Structure 1
Amino acid sequence: MITRKCVLATLAAFVTMYALGYAIYEWILGSFMAENVGTATGVMRDPPSFLHISLGQLAGAGLLATVLSWKGVKSAMAGARAGAAVGLLLAAYYGFMMLGTTNTTTMEAVFADVVGSMVMLGGAGAVVAVVMGRGGD
C-alpha cells in the first residue's frame, strides 16, 4: 500500500539521489566513465536528457522507498546499509548485463558504477529511513 510517508520518502530519496548522482557521476567519476564507454561510438548524449535522468531517478527512489518500507527500516544507519545493498545488486545486475550484451561499457566502468551506486543509494536509503521513521502517517 502506498502511504503518505512512502510518497514523501520517495521524493526525499529522489532529491538525494539526484544530488549525489550528479556529484558522483559528473564531478567525481565523469571523466573516468567517459573514458570507459567500451568500443561503441556515438552513444553518449551531449547534452544529456535531464528529463529522462529525472524519471529514472524518480523510479529508483520509488523502488528504494518501497523496498525499505517492506523491510521496516527505521534508522538512518539501517537505511544506509540496505540502500547500499540495493545499489550494489542493481548496479551489478545492470552493469554485467550491459557488459555481456553490448559494447557500451568496460569492466572497470561496471565496478566504478557499483561503488557509485552503493554510495548514492546508501545515502538515499538513510534519508528514506529517517522519513519513514517519523511519527504519524
Structure 2
Amino acid sequence: MFTKTNLISTIVAAIWSLMGGYLLWGILTVDFMNDHLGSATGMDKEMPDFAFLALGCLVQAFAFSTVFKKWGASSYGISDGLGYGIWIGIFVGFGNGIINYATSNFLDMTGTIANGGVYVIFYAIMGALVGLIYDKVK
C-alpha cells in the first residue's frame, strides 16, 4: 500500500486535485455554475479552509491511487489511468450529482449535467497522471 510508486502518484494526484479543482471549478466554470444554482443559498464559504482542503485532496488522491493500483493489477499506463478516471468521474460526477439533484437544491439540472462533465474531465486527468506515474516509476 505504501510503495514508492503509490506515494509519488498520491502526491502528484493531490497537487492536481488541489490545483486542477481550482482551475476547473474556481476559474473556468465558476460563472456558469453560479448561473445554475438551485434555491439553496449560503452554501459556499467565502474563503475555503485551505488546510482541510489540502488534507481532503491528499486523502482523495491516496484512495484514488491505491484503488488504481489494485484495479490495474497487470496493466499500468496513461490510457489505463484515463479509463479508470473516466469511470470514477461518471460515478462521482453523474451518479452522485444526480442523487444530489434529487435530494438538494444546490444546482439545477443543467448545472448538474455540466458539473458531471467537469468531474469526468477532472478525474480523467487525475487518472492519466496516476497511470503515467505507475507506468514510469517502478
Q: TM-score, normalised by structure 2?
A: 0.87
Q: Counterpart amino acid of 1:62?
A: F
Equivalent residue number for residue 115 of structure 1 = 117
| Cα 1:79/1:92, change in 2 over 3 Å | same
Deviation at 1:135, TM superposition (A): 4.4
Which residues of 2 match residues 59-70 of structure 1 at below 5 A? 59-70=59-70
- Which whole-Å CA distance do the structure 2 matches of 1:44 and 1:100 have between them? 19
2:53 aligned residue: 53
Q: Provide the C-alpha distance between the structure 1 equivalents of 2:57 and 2:123, rounded to a whole number of angstroms.
A: 10
Q: Point out 4+ residue stretches in structure 1 off by more than 4 angstroms.
A: none
The equivalent residue for 1:97 is 99
In structure 2, the CA distance between the partners of 1:105 and 1:135, relative to structure 1 (3 Å rule), is closer
* TM-score of the pair, normalised by structure 1: 0.87
- How many residue pairs get matched? 136
For the pair 1:6 / 2:6, whether they are aligned, the reply is yes
In structure 2, stretches of 5+ residues that fail to align are none
| C-alpha RMSD over aligned residues | 1.7
Unpaired stretches in structure 1, ≥5 consecutive residues: none
Identity fraction in percent: 24
Partner of 1:71: 71
